[in-house]
Structure 1
């Protein structure tokens, strides 16, 4: 890749937006598309081309990045642009959709189009600063300069392995945060001061997951956490994940709050 490589970025939500801004800031020719057009306005002001449809977005692109909410959204959007992809194009699928959906996407692509699955770990703040952790499956060497704009690249093997590892990691994180939430409910029942419990957790093997449970400035909506846990529970028999999913979906009014707020809703 060089700085003349034409890139299309589809999906400018809470994660896709800051990732696309990093592409634009790096000087690549960028075309953007988003289902809600209002999110494209700032990109147009900064020099990006705004496409009216997914097909328009990818028509001249050499690298396409999708960062969308869930498997149905990815299937719909890829289905809308797949026929426009040219031989030699790279599709970087950064959404969290699991390996089964990645395999479905690969079947939709024309011959000569390379699929790379590159889901990310990290929240909005890390997306903005380029400190995400990427799980990258597939032959990604030609697009490494772009991937490294987003954070640390962890090569996982064949296409689909990045999506698989992401499910393993995010399932552990979401389950862990929910367990911390329940631990705080137990601490309340036992009459322990919140600050004391937090300090004890921070000095214990629970420190990392407790840090996420009490994080400020992070944003990973509970509804997306529930989606990721559901994907994991579909891939294997996971009784804990199934229970966690029930907890995450018990308060629909909290669906757009950060995952850390499950602590509040559990007490």
Structure 2
């Protein structure tokens, strides 16, 4: 597959488009705000005015958008991508949405279009290095067909049928976000006891919060607090009780700058 379309060129969508261009694919991109896609022209991408125009020649289409509403609008709204998608193409849905939303989107597609549920773990730095974790849900044949493109982005994990990729992504995000919440509170306790921040972090690095400290130290990540809260709410939508995750949602909601990266919850500057 060499003709690819990327619908959504925020931080992750733009990075994915650039990575696929470097891998030798022909890439057409579309974004609801055209200025956010314009810079990709310098990397060799074709800029499309509408979702429909973006997918005209595509063998494989990637959606990397904010939420299910945005995905639905790109696929089925005005100038719908689905109406212009050729028979035999594969739609790879990489946005983080709910499992039920994923299955509902797949059910609306014409039978001539294959669907792959494939949200990713990792941020912009992982895309640039080709080290994303891709949680793939769909038929084995479709995963195999999309494999060459997916492997240009990272490692593929076959999770099962459509919806399971999204579900596992939400499990992973729940762990990561609540761990950062735990790190936030652990440092608050250290501050209250007058423990030097550097000393506290060194001790915590040797324990179970090591991964949270690595994430809080990552300057390449661009995972907005508002999007993290959205993902955590999706994870909680079918859970009867999850008090730790619910508390983490409140922590996210209380953040002043909702567009800042998730790591901004943890102040490591004083280390």
Which category of TM-score, normalised to the shorter sequence, fits these structures?
Answer: over 0.9
| Aligned ranges 1:111-260 → 2 under 5 Å | 111-139=111-139, 140-237=143-240, 238-251=242-255, 253-260=256-263
Q: Describe the superposition over 1:208-239 as per-residue Cα deviations: whole angstroms up to 9, x where unpaired.
A: 12221333332211111111101011121222
Do residues 19 (structure 1) and 16 (structure 2) align? Answer: yes
Structure 2 counterpart SS, 1:12:
coil
TM-score by length of 1: 0.93
Structure 1 counterpart SS, 2:11:
coil
**2:106 aligned residue:** 106
Query: Is the CA contact 1:10–1:65 (under 8 Å) kept in the aligned structure 2?
Result: yes
**1:8 aligned residue:** 5
Give the Cα–Cα distance (whole angstroms) in 1 for the partners of residues 40 and 191 of structure 2.
Answer: 47
Give the Cα–Cα distance (whole angstroms) in 2 for the partners of residues 23 and 177 of structure 1.
Answer: 31
Give the Cα–Cα distance (whole angstroms) in 2 for the partners of residues 28 and 263 of structure 1.
Answer: 38
Give the Cα–Cα distance (whole angstroms) in 1 for the partners of residues 191 and 26 of structure 2.
Answer: 54
Q: Structure 1 residue 41: deviation in Å?
A: 2.0
Matched residue count: 261
Identify unmatched segments of 5+ residues in structure 2: none
Structure 1 counterpart SS, 2:266:
helix
> What value does the CA root-mean-square deviation take over the aligned residues?
1.5
Identify unmatched segments of 5+ residues in structure 1: none
Structure 1 residues 47 and 218, CA gap change in structure 2 (3 angstroms): closer
Give the Cα–Cα distance (whole angstroms) in 2 for the partners of residues 189 and 175 of structure 1.
Answer: 21
Structure 2 counterpart SS, 1:156:
strand
